[in-house]
């Protein structure tokens, strides 16, 4: 009999070799869910009386958490904690961990790639040539990226890396910063100035009740009609119906969305089916290096806790007292 049991709710990679190897060394049996709905996860947790839950995207609700009295840790295979009932975990002295820095380079690079794709009309030209039109005048004339303005909403780890890369390309960079963080070459401003002055706006803040639909009809009306909105953070930050209407009405030029609400989105409806919108499948975090880092560190957090050590990145540290 294994000493411990861990439930993996879901995963976004091809195999579980890294997780299995790490857990085997600590005599932890890995139970892999085949369905991610609340009832299925709660049933598995109760049936196996799991000591740990590892989750990628699946919702770890109060019902799932309460299903196993043995539960000692919930580890997020990612950064955001909006799919975990952290408050309930805290109430029951269960540590919640994440890996907040595993993919910051990848997300910064993906955000910049989307900016450049919008600026240079990459998707439009690709679509036209694939459909037999080889014409550099197939779309509106492009502007040089150098000298344009990028507005970053959220100057955290990813925002800082994006700003460094944008400055190297000659972009003027504005940023909002709730923490008051500053950096050389970046002008820290309020959201109103980001909206009115930016040619590209990148959203890099977490999804919370306060930030839900922080970009809606009112904000779009304040943007330049030539501006692009780029979201590699969380889909809930944007009112997608309002975005579709704003693009249709010419209030902004287009958007690039790596995240949507819900996921997967309905690709047959606006704004997802609008040729002025670039859509990627929540892929900004992905690279060989980032996934290896994420998987090994999250699994080690579980092992550390089960073997009596304090894991890294406990997001509710008050439970450790």
Measured CA to CA, the distance from residue 72 to residue 251 in angstroms comes to 50
Among 76, 110, 165, 282, which one carries the catalytic annotation?
Answer: 282
Measured CA to CA, the distance from residue 262 to residue 38 in angstroms comes to 17
Measured CA to CA, the distance from residue 45 to residue 48 in angstroms comes to 6
Residue 126: what pLDDT?
Answer: 96
Residue 321: what pLDDT?
Answer: 78
**Who contacts 18 (Cβ-Cβ below 8 Å, separation ≥6)?**
292, 295, 296, 299
For the domain 4-102+288-320, what is the CATH superfamily, name and number?
NAD(P)-binding Rossmann-like Domain (3.40.50.720)
Residue 140: what pLDDT?
Answer: 86
Q: Which residues pair with 22 in a beta bridge?
A: none
What is each CA distance from 100 to 73, 139, 160, 285, in whole angstroms?
Answer: 17, 40, 14, 11
Residue 174: what pLDDT?
Answer: 99
The model carries a pTM of 0.91
* Residue 199 contacts residue 228 (beta carbons within 8 Å): yes
234 is catalytic: yes
- Please state which CATH number belongs to domain 104-279: 3.40.50.720
Among 218, 248, 263, 292, which one carries the catalytic annotation?
Answer: 263
Q: Which of 202, 255, 204 is nearest to 226 (CA)?
A: 255
263 is catalytic: yes
Where are the domain boundaries for CATH 3.40.50.720 in the chain?
Answer: 4-102+288-320, 104-279
For β-strands 52-55 and 73-76, DSSP reports them as parallel
- Three-state SS letters, the chain: CCCEEEEECCCCCCCCHHHHHHHHHCCEEEEECCCCCHHHHHHHHHHHCCCEEEECCCCECHHHHHCCCCCCEEEECCCCCCCECHHHHHHCCCCEECCCCCCHHHHHHHHHHHHHHHHCCHHHHHHHHHCCCCCCCCCCCCCCCCCCEEEEECCCHHHHHHHHHHHHCCCEEEEECCCCCCCCCEEECCHHHHHHHCCEEEECCCCCCCCCCCECHHHHHHCCCCCEEEECCCHHHECHHHHHHHHHCCCCCEEEECCCCCCCCCCCCCCCCCCCEEECCCCCCCCHHHHHHHHHHHHHHHHHHHCCCCCCCECCHHHHC
Number of neighbouring beta carbons within 10 Å of residue 237 = 24
Residue 132: what pLDDT?
Answer: 97
282 is catalytic: yes
Number of neighbouring beta carbons within 10 Å of residue 24 = 12
* Residue 30 contacts residue 6 (beta carbons within 8 Å): yes
Residue 139: what pLDDT?
Answer: 86
Residue 301 — φ and ψ, nearest 5°?
Answer: -60, -40
Residue 71: what pLDDT?
Answer: 99
Per-residue pLDDT of the chain (321 residues; tens, 9 = 90+): 899 999 999 999 999 999 999 999 999 999 999 999 999 999 999 999 999 999 999 999 999 999 999 999 999 999 989 999 999 999 999 999 999 999 999 999 999 999 999 999 999 999 999 999 999 999 889 999 999 999 999 999 999 999 999 999 999 999 999 999 999 999 999 999 999 999 999 999 999 999 999 999 999 999 999 999 999 999 999 999 999 999 999 999 999 999 999 999 999 999 999 999 999 999 999 999 999 999 999 999 999 999 999 999 999 999 997
Residue 1: what pLDDT?
Answer: 86
């Amino acid at each position: 009999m294994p000493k411990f049991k861990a439930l993996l709710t879901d995963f976004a990679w091809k195999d579980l070799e890294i997780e299995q190897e790490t857990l085997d060394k600590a005599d932890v049996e890995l139970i892999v869910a085949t369905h991610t709905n609340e009832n299925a996860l709660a049933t598995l947790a109760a049936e196996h009386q799991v000591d740990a839950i590892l989750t990628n995207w699946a919702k770890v609700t109060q019902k799932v958490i309460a299903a196993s009295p043995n539960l000692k840790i919930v580890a997020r295979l990612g950064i955001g904690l909006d799919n975990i009932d952290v408050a309930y975990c805290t109430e029951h002295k269960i540590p919640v961990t994440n890996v907040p820095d595993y993919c910051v380079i990848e997300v910064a690079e993906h955000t910049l790639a989307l900016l450049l794709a919008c600026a240079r009309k990459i998707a439009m030209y690709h679509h036209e040539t694939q459909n037999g039109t080889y014409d550099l005048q197939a779309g509106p004339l492009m502007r040089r990226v150098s000298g344009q303005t990028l507005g970053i909403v959220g100057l955290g780890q990813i925002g800082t890396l994006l700003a460094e890369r944008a400055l190297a390309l000659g972009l003027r960079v504005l940023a909002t910063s709730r923490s008051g963080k500053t950096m050389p070459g970046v002008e820290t401003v309020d959201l109103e100035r980001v909206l009115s002055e930016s040619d590209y706006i990148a959203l890099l803040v977490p999804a919370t009740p306060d930030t839900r639909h922080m970009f809606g009809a009112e904000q779009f009306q304040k943007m330049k009609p030539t501006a692009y909105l780029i979201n590699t953070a969380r889909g809930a930050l944007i009112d997608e119906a309002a975005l579709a209407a704003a693009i249709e009405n010419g209030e902004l030029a287009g958007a690039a969305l790596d995240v949507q609400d819900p996921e997967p989105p309905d690709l047959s409806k606006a704004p997802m089916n609008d040729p002025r919108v670039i859509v990627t499948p929540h892929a900004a975090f992905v690279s060989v290096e980032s996934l290896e880092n994420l998987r090994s560190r999250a699994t080690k957090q579980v092992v550390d806790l089960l073997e009596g050590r304090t894991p890294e990145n406990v997001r509710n540290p008050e439970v450790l007292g």
